[in-house]
Amino acid sequence: MTLTSASDLTSFVHGEPDAVRDRLLWGMRDVPFPPKPISLHPVLLPAGVYTELHTAAGAVLDALVRVARRLGRDRDERLAALGIDPATTPLFVADEAWEWRYAASIARPDAFVTPDGIKFIEYNAGGGVGAAVQTQLLADAWVDDIYAGRGLFAYRPFEARADMFEAMAAREGTARAVVLMGSVADLVRGVSSTRYFDAEVDHLRRRGMDAAFFEPSDLLDGIFEPGGRLRYPIGLRHFTVQEWSELGVDWSPVGTAIEAGCQLVSSETSSLLYNKKLLGVASEGQPGMNDADRELLERYLPWTRIVGDREVTYDGSRHALPELLHARQERFLLKGATGMKGEQVLMGRDATTAEWAAAITEAVTSGEWVVQERVESLRFPMTVRYDTGAVATDQVAPVLGPFVIGGQPAGCLARYFPDGADGVVSVERHGAAQNIAVAANR
């Protein structure tokens, strides 16, 4: 694979760094976005890699849906198979066919481009999928403005979501009217403006749809017309019940809206897809899986298993799983089944022997963790401007997040440490930079 070199970037990055910074920060105003240091260009991917990230993300997502459906004969059995407490998933509707139709509506896996190809290390699906707004605004800034005419290409989340809503309204026989369900309280970095939501509302209105955003406390007053008719029959979910409960945000108005007929995407069945234990089942294989799915998942998923006191096959041999983890600590990392934003992740290479042993004991006892073989990203050059005004180029190891929305490719988030460090990459918890990846010279 041929990657853009640091010398190529010297000619690519044009204009004054301060001007690039100012345009970027203007475009990202009033949305959660790390203000420093400022990257001076997107992650540049060969066009074939950018395309494969999105097509493979969609294909693996489809396979995960098939794996999830085989977990049991009905919803209760499937939740039980992954150890999901039904109390944590209160927004199911009775129509299971509808639930499955929109379970995979919005997804964004985390991926590395490795020496062995693309590997998806986890799948984010449903209301917990963040950064679609940042991905859209960054594409607008880099592709349409700062580097306009330089041969860059990026898919756009807002376009894919609008297409999805158009198709949904036609299929379900509803008005083309969408309500965004989220809360400014759920945004980070001191953001108090509603621009994060308003940007997409404006886009949907330009597409000829009726659209609005309401805080949960205003939702029920906003979605009904006089006489009680539901004005917005489609809802876009910008939250998880878990996060709102932790923040003290009352999610019950959403349940009332669903009972009144508002169809919320992604559906609550998406909770099966983002549970990391599903990746363990998919990686290990299950009865009824066809050869095409086995080959696809083996190609794109790193070795992943649900942690327990059991035997597994690794590197061609059978092992007691706890003993394998103790013996080859540096090869593996542990992940909580429902952890988000870099939480509940422990890399064996970064832990002491005692920390690793304690984590293994907890994982085996609880049954709520997966173990994954560590994979490493290829390095990509990235030029940044620091607070001092200094400009430097380092080789970074980005976690890439190709969006799949309504079955379409929808843009690619990128997160990395600007100084080239690697480890658990998280914007909120560990201060990683947030950017996008684009296709160069498409």
Judged against a pLDDT cut of 90, whether residue 422 lies above it is answered with no
Backbone angles phi and psi of 119, in degrees to 5: -130, 130
**3-class DSSP state of 384:** strand
The structure tokens listed for 19 are: 């001007």
Question: Beta-carbon neighbour count of residue 288 at 10 Å?
Answer: 10
Judged against a pLDDT cut of 90, whether residue 340 lies above it is answered with no
pLDDT on residue 40: 95
The structure tokens listed for 274 are: 């983002």
Question: For residues 54, 105, 99 and 291, what is the CA-based torsion angle, rounded to 10 degrees?
Answer: -10
Q: What is the mean pLDDT of residues 245-270?
A: 94
Locate the domains of the chain by residue range.
Answer: 6-273+381-440, 305-371
Q: For residue 405, what are the β-bridge partners?
A: 106, 408
- How far apart, in whole angstroms, are the C-alpha atoms of residue 301 and residue 146? 35
pLDDT tens digits for range 177-220: 999 999 999 887 667 899 999 999 999 999 999 999 999 999 99
Contact by Cβ (8 Å): 273, 107: yes
pLDDT on residue 1: 41
pLDDT on residue 344: 81
Backbone angles phi and psi of 160, in degrees to 5: -65, -40
Residue 7 pLDDT level (bands cut at 50, 70, 90): very low
Q: Which residues lie closer than 8 Å to 214 by C-beta, 6 or more apart?
A: 179, 180, 181, 221, 222, 223
- Of 127, 405, 129, 94, give the one whose Cα is nearest residue 261: 94
